[in-house]
Structure 1
Amino acid sequence: MGGLVLREAWLARTKEDILEPERAIVDPHFHFFVENEIFPHYQLADLQRDATGHNVQQVVFMECEEGYRKDGPEHLRPIGESAWVLDLAKEAEQAPPGSFRISGMIGDGQLYNGALAAETLDAHLEASPIFRGVRDMGLWDASPEVDNADPPTNMNFYRESSFRAGFAELAKRGLVFDAHQYHSQLPSVAELARAFDETPIIVNHLGSPLGAGPYAGRHDEIFPEWQKNVSEVASCPNTFMKLGGLAMPWCGFGLEARENPPSSDEFVATYARYYDHALQVFGPDRCMFESNFPVDKLSLSYDVLWNGFKKIAAAYSEDEKEALFRGTATRVYRLEAL
């Protein structure tokens, strides 16, 4: 991918008034990047600046291999991220009234270590009172043109016995699992949900329909398979869907390549069918809008993104909107209601 750059001047070409500025929002998926050599650096002050306008009250940090310990046992190095984010959460508490709080975080559980994952999870819990669960990415595709996660070496990462042995430790501690894989791997997420029906599983980024490499330009062809696989996951009552993430450049929709960034109307026109299907099969009480910032910021601004979400939700009842923008995330991640 190479080093990615946030183009503030380009993003500023599209400006919109904030829709429903009073609507309370929990953003359940964002990252801070400090040491990363691929993703643009993005820190607390950056998110605070981007979130100004929409009524973002709480946010949930998503693991991104930042702040790891530099030494010690490999399976305990991710604990550094939990401690680092807790420090940032304390810093966020000192912000002026009206600013968001970092109320939860998802760490790296290294569940593929099997029973040893119990030590990792316990160390996360000891390091941070806002730790809520883990994400072990299963992203894998056979094409060398598609970026895969590490350590998966095949598309069956979530089916492997060592991973499942580690996964079994989550329910014992009341922790959740964020699943990040390509749409072609969603059946393995459904199998995981059926095998561990006491563990909430939150699917990231609308199931990540492939759109890069050999899949570029094939969205219409791939959509029915994506629909089928998303519906299979939705049949498991312990699963939830994060609505967002498709503005990442490698999803192949090309928003980042436009002369001007998209408006919220253009955002809705591009992605509506994905949101509509997910909402149909999961229902608003099992869905939550997510920013995936700053990664999606490569394609559009925070203001435009959440305006787009508000337009997608326009036809839903007030109770359903409350679930989509705040309630589902608050419940699933066990956040303190504000």
Structure 2
Amino acid sequence: MPNEEEFIGNTPRGLDELSVWTSRHVEAALEPELPIIDSHHHLYDDERGRYLAPEMLDEISSGHNVVATVYLQHSASYRTEGPEALRPVGEVEFAAGVARAAATQSVRLCAGIVGHADLALGDQVLPVLEAQQEAGNGYLRGIRHGATWDAGRAGYGRTFARRHLLLAPEFRAGYAHLSRMGLSFDAWIFHPQLPELIDLLQAFPETPVVLNHCGGILGIPPHTDHEQVFNVWSRHIRDLARYPNLSVKLGGLGMLYGGHQFHHDIEPPSSETLAETWKPYVETCIEAFGPARAMFESNFPVDKQSCGYGALWNAFKRLTRSYTDSERACLFHDTAKKFYRLDLPPPA
């Protein structure tokens, strides 16, 4: 068994325990009027625990002005019968039900939905994408086919996609259908894999892509030389930013893959501590992509392993105090609205 300083999986604590832990440090929302679109969160009710609309709304009640959210696939509510390739359609059906229920509410949960389809099916993925669009009831905006792979500790407790998935001809045959159907792609990979995304962007310049979680920065063995990791990652980020069809999500930094060890502390970190820790990564991404191609995300409840929802948004607000009002509007609201084509009223 790994000792406590080693990586013990990305979700070592259950949601009930996390709720107790995060309640030990509660902050008043800074700038509570600032409109926010949470561009990346999950919902589920299974062996991982219960985190559905009421639990998400409870997080939002921390005082931040979250006006809408984007739902990201998380292997939730899959169909239990029928062809294997079509089972992820159940997740889009589930998220679309949440979106319909929230359509007239003050917080538009799941205003955009990103589902999953096995793009490695090649041309055979087309009926799956068509079924996803029908199930989405107008809310489906994109597809995520996670391609994370690493030979080190990041593989603990999980199953990876095959190595070099983004380069596989059959994957690219399926990927080619996305732009034809008006769908974007959420890229979830680790930072050593970023050059493979560059190759994909070169091959398909017409497909809108958003890089998840600042590019999946690893800080666990063997990636424990943080200066070296930062230098490699930041060079890749600057290279990626040259492709205009790519945007970036600013977040996911609370995942335990980053090796920041907040989950070992008796109390969760303050927004000041989070801002100081995350500053190099967030500032590098904004500098490279610009506010018009960068959007903040909570990645909850996954990032709840490291912090509370209110502290997370306070940290992002602290990190952007030097930006103009229009730049902050992009980072917190407008970029996500534009990328995911969200049908929302102008923010008050």
Same-fold call, TM cutoff 0.5 = yes
Q: Which runs of 5+ in 1 are unaligned?
A: none
CA distance, structure 2, for counterparts of residue 149 and residue 240 of structure 1? 27
* In 2: Cα distance, 1:19 partner to 1:276 partner: 20
Secondary structure (helix, strand or coil) at the match of 2:314 reads: helix
Counterpart in the other structure of 2:5: none
- 1:242 is aligned to 249
Contact 2:44 2:77 (8 Å CA) reproduced: no
Distance 1:104 1:143 in 2: 34
Alpha-carbon offset, residue 190 of structure 1: 1.2
Aligned partner (choices 40, 61, 65) of residue 29 of structure 1: 40
> Which residue of the partner structure matches residue 87 of structure 2?
77
- Counterparts of residues 63-142 of structure 1 (less than 5 Å): 63-93=73-103, 95=105, 98-128=106-136, 129-142=138-151
| Structure 1 position 99, deviation (Å) | 3.0
Report the secondary structure of 1:41's partner residue.
strand
Q: Which residue of 2 aligns with 1:50?
A: 59
Shift of 1:299: 1.2
The count of corresponding residues between Structure 1 and Structure 2 is 332
**Mapped partners of 2:157, 2:128: distance in 1:** 23
1:126: Cα distance to partner? 1.0
Structure 1 position 211 matched with structure 2 position 219 = yes
Structure 2 contact 148–160 (Cα < 8 Å) conserved = no
* TM-score, normalised via structure 2 length: 0.92
- Over the aligned positions, Cα root-mean-square deviation in angstroms equals 1.6
Letter in 1 for 2:87: R
Q: Deviations over 1:4-41 (max 9, x none)?
A: 32322221221211111111111110001212x3x443
- Structure-2 separation of matches of 1:145 and 1:16: 32
The question of whether the paired residues in 2 share the 8 Å contact of 1:179 and 1:201 is answered with yes
Aligned match of 1:8? 19
User: What's 1:287 paired with?
Assistant: 294
CA gap of 1:73–1:264, structure 2 versus 1, over 3 A, is same
Question: Which amino acid is the alignment partner of residue 61 of structure 1?
Answer: Y
Question: What 5-or-longer segments of structure 2 have no aligned partner?
Answer: 1-8
- SS at 1:34 equivalent: strand
Structure 1 residues 231, 79: closer, same or farther in 2, change over 3 A?
A: same
TM-superposed CA distance for 1:103, in Å, is 0.6
In 2 relative to 1, CA 59–50 (structure 1 residues): closer, same or farther, beyond 3 Å?
same
Distance 2:122 2:151 in 1: 25
